[in-house]
Amino acid sequence: MSQFDITEHSHRRFNPLLGEWVLVSPHRSKRPWQGQQESAEKDTRPQYDPTCYLCPTNVRANGETNPDYPATFVFVNDFAALQAESPSGSFTKGGLLRAEGERGICKVICFSPRHDLTLSDMEVQDIKQVVDLWQEQYLELGALEEIGYVQIFENKGSVMGSSNPHPHGQIWAQSSIPGEPAKETEQQEAYFQQNGRSLLADYLALELEENTRLVVENAHFVALVPFWAVWPFETLVIPRRHFQHLGQITEEEKFGYADIMKRLSSVYDKLFQTSFPYSAGIHQSPTDGRDYPGWHLHMHFYPPLLRSATVKKFMVGYELMADPQRDITPESAAERLRGLL
């Protein structure tokens, strides 16, 4: 039997943030694709769209009129998945059927008044204003007694379920800690208790030493393809300094964060020569009043495109029934992304 080669042979990789495994099958990237093909999204939007419910001065579905905002704009989602007025209560039956009332607040953040922009098109100074608003909202919502977690995220592109192409993101603040952040909380706190250091700080040190999965970096942040990546061109943005949440970010780090997001999203657009779709989200410490010294803020980018602007990657078959699985290795994905800088 030949000697094991991580670049050629099937293997499992451990994700220390979630305590889960992913199956990697590098040899499968050579297989031909005869599946569904999609048309690449063409970015031909005007600077202002009179039919867009997010553009300045336009009327939204609930009848309210947007202000003529010059930069960012935030409002409570007109079709919120969580509501602050939801009654508390629970339902149980037979010890197996359980339900609990969940309260929360959902907001929409417009990144820019320009309908035709994305993060990759915006200036660093303008993206920094988005980070300012993220910080403000995290502190404001997290200070509410009934809010235990604040999830900031962006869905870009219709393939990711975005119902409006205007540059915007969302904030869902809720009473409980959602599943993925809850797993990351458990793993990071356990690591900190055992080692007295941040899990992601130690992981970042390994990545900087190995220098094979890095994509782009600056003085304050590093974007890399994580060793345990599931999505074909998934990336993880990690601050070099260990801090728990956006309330602790410095002004210099805000500019560094804005810079890394612009450069990373620009690389994505270059890779597939289209306005690259993705779901991105910030994971940071819960706001339930407890201390989380092991938490290390970070941001995930999950793109669904596989080999071109027309080939998507859905979770199907083995990935739904067993474990996540990927064909394109994190090392080869990072190499392709770096090559476009």
| Domain parsing of the chain, residue ranges | 41-338
Q: Are strands 11-15 and 278-283 parallel, antiparallel or unpaired?
A: unpaired
Q: State the average pLDDT for the chain.
A: 91
Residue % of the chain over a pLDDT of 70 = 93
Indicate the SS3 state at residue 178.
Answer: coil
Indicate the pLDDT class of residue 160, thresholds 50, 70 and 90. Answer: confident
Instruction: Name the catalytic one among 11, 27, 115, 168.
Output: 168
pLDDT tens-digit map of 22-80: 999 886 655 444 444 555 555 678 999 999 999 999 999 899 999 999 999 999 999 89
Please spell the DSSP secondary structure of 196-230, one letter per residue.
Answer: SS-HHHHHHHHHHHH-SSEEEE-SSEEEE--TT--
Residue 35 is predicted with a pLDDT of: 45
| Phi and psi at residue 325, to the nearest 5° | -145, 145
Q: What is the mean pLDDT of residues 110-118?
A: 97
Non-local CB neighbours of 194 within 8 Å, separated by 6+ positions: none
Q: How far apart are CA 218 and CA 209, in angstroms?
A: 16
Non-local CB neighbours of 329 within 8 Å, separated by 6+ positions: 7, 24, 26, 29
Residue % of the chain over a pLDDT of 90 = 73
pLDDT surpasses 60 at 100: yes
Query: Tokens 């001065």 identify what position?
Result: 57
| Residues 40/48, Cβ–Cβ less than 8 Å | no
pLDDT tens-digit map of 177-229: 999 999 999 999 999 999 999 999 999 999 999 999 999 999 999 999 999 99
What tokens does 18 get? 């979630």
Indicate the SS3 state at residue 316.
Answer: coil
Using CB atoms within 10 A of its CB, is residue 21 exposed (0-12), middle (13-18) or buried (19+)?
middle
| Residues 215/334, Cβ–Cβ less than 8 Å | yes
CATH number for the segment(s) 41-338: 3.30.428.10
Residue 26 is predicted with a pLDDT of: 83
What tokens does 182 get? 């809850």
Active site (annotated) includes residue 168: yes
